Structures are given as C-alpha cells and as structure tokens.
Amino acid sequence: MKIERREFLKLGAAVAVGLGGGLTLDVLTKTKPAAAETRTDVAGTRVSSKALHAKRWAMVVDASKFKTEEDFRRVKEACVKAHNIPDFGPDSKHQIKWIWEEPFERTFYGVDDPYLPEAIKKENFPVMCNHCENPPCVRVCPTQATFKRPDGIVGMDYHRCIGCRFCMAACPFGARSFNFVDPRPYIKDINPDFPTRTKGVVEKCNFCMERLDQGLMPVCVEASNGALVFGDLDDPTSDVRKILDTHYAIRRKPELGTGPSVFYLVGGGGAGA
C-alpha cells in the first residue's frame, strides 16, 4: 500500500503529539526494560541491576553435613528442577549429570594422605564442574560454545555447541554429559526460565550463573542447609575465604594445574564452625 508524503508527515506529527501527551509512552516502556532494573554485562547481555558480583566465584563443600541420602537428594533435585535436567532412570546409560556423588577414591584419585581421618575416606562427595581457573575445555572448544566469564564461571552457549565432544575429552573431572537422545521428553516439569537442550548437545553445571545475574544464589547452595558455601574467592571477607582460612580443604587433581574453584573440607569443624 502506497502512502503520500503529505500523509506520512501527518502520521509523524500524530506520533509526536502522542509521545508528548504520553499516549504511546506506556507502550514503549512496556517493551523496553527500565534502566534501573537491568544493565548490560561485558557480553552485551541484559541482566538485573541486582546481579551478584565476584572477581572469582568459588564453592566450599562440607561433605560431613550430607549426613543422609535425603540431604544429597534434596540438593540434586533442586538442581534438576531449576535446569531442566532429564531423568532417564538410574540404570540408563544416557544419564545427564550436573551434580552427583562419588566415593573418596574416585573423587580424590591418587590422594594418599596418611593423616586424613579414616572417616573421611568412607564418605561420598558431591561432585560437579570445577569451574577451573585454567579450563582445558575452553581451549579445545572450536565454536566458543564453552567460555569463561570474567568472574571465573565456565559457562556454555548451547546454540553454539556442535556436539564434537572435544570438551568432554579435555575435562579431567568427567563433569560433562552428552545428549545422545532428545532430552525434552524426559523432563518432568519444565522450568520456562531456563533453556532446554537438544540431541547432540553437551551440558554441565554452570554455577547457576543465570541466578547470580538476577541477584540469587545457586539453588544447590540454598537447598544444602549450609553444606555448600558460595562466594568470592578473591574477597578476604567472603564466607568462602573465611572458611578456607580456618579449615583444611583440598581440591580435585590439583597437580594438573587447572585450578579448580571447588574446595572440599576434610578436617574437623565443618563449614559452620
């Protein structure tokens, strides 16, 4: 449909009057987030102005506080629900793992410290992506689907993932899972606030970076009743640093030089001491 120049100018004037009178301003403010509520991060993504910040996010795990199987199940289920992790059943070879349990000898393979309490060696430990300071998975990803944020979190862009699984081969912790089949039919209750994945995509724990960007702590931390503590490793006043300054902790495979950001308490006292 053609429009004459004179009619176009009239239409422009009407819009200007509408703006001046506030008639269309409401429409514009509804389609554009208020500046006070959001900001643009270094990647150009709009995030909440309430976002939590850190120079390097880290987690402390106090395995002694996972006293029952229910303690761990509560944490795992919170993660599963928040991140649309499929449930293929306990015996399926297609399991997708973001956080799971391993015995001492698998969690800390090669650690032979005669001074560690024997009780520690009999415990199971929650394991996840270590969000390494020097992540080999980031270096080998050909599409930058795996990336490291300025705050130390190793994240994933599922749309960029081509399923080459180089990152899985590079990760020394087995922290990544591959979707050999379409996971969506196996999600019990889809969380609309987090993307579902497709067949042929790798995934892993992301330290709940989408929640941090909204001013919220990771769901596993909230569900752990103090067994998981999260904070800024570079801030001497953070809860993480206070615990590490007063308790003996170890990391997984430190000899590899990846610099894991997940610490495990193996001495007495616990995280709340």
* Domain membership flag for residue 16: yes
DSSP secondary structure string, 201-213?
-EE---TTHHHHT
Question: Considering only CA atoms, which of 202, 208, 196 is closest in space to residue 146?
Answer: 202
DSSP state of 146: E
Q: How far is CA 174 from the centre of its chain?
A: 16
Q: Which domain holds residue 137?
A: 57-265
Q: What is the mean pLDDT of residues 145-160?
A: 98
The whole-chain average pLDDT of the chain stands at: 85
Is 196 a domain residue?
A: yes
Signed CA dihedral, 142, 146, 151, 152: sign only: negative
DSSP notation for 159-174: TT--S--HHHHH-TT-
* Residue 44 in this model has a pLDDT that exceeds 50: no
Q: How confident is the model at residue 123 (pLDDT cuts 50, 70, 90)?
A: confident
Token pair 């590899």 in the structure block, residue: 256
Residue 88 has pLDDT above 60, yes or no: yes
d(CA 60, CA 79): 17
Q: pLDDT at residue 36 above 70?
A: no
Q: Are residues 195 and 229 in the same domain?
A: yes
Confidence of residue 120 (pLDDT cuts 50, 70, 90): confident
User: Is 254 part of a structural domain of the chain?
Assistant: yes
Number of domains in the chain: 2
Residues 66 and 111 in one domain: yes
Q: Could you tell me the pTM of the whole model?
A: 0.81
Domain at 123, CATH number: 3.30.70.20
Same domain? For 105 and 213 the reply is yes
Q: Which helix (H) or strand (E) holds 105?
A: helix 104-107
Residue 272 lies in a domain: no
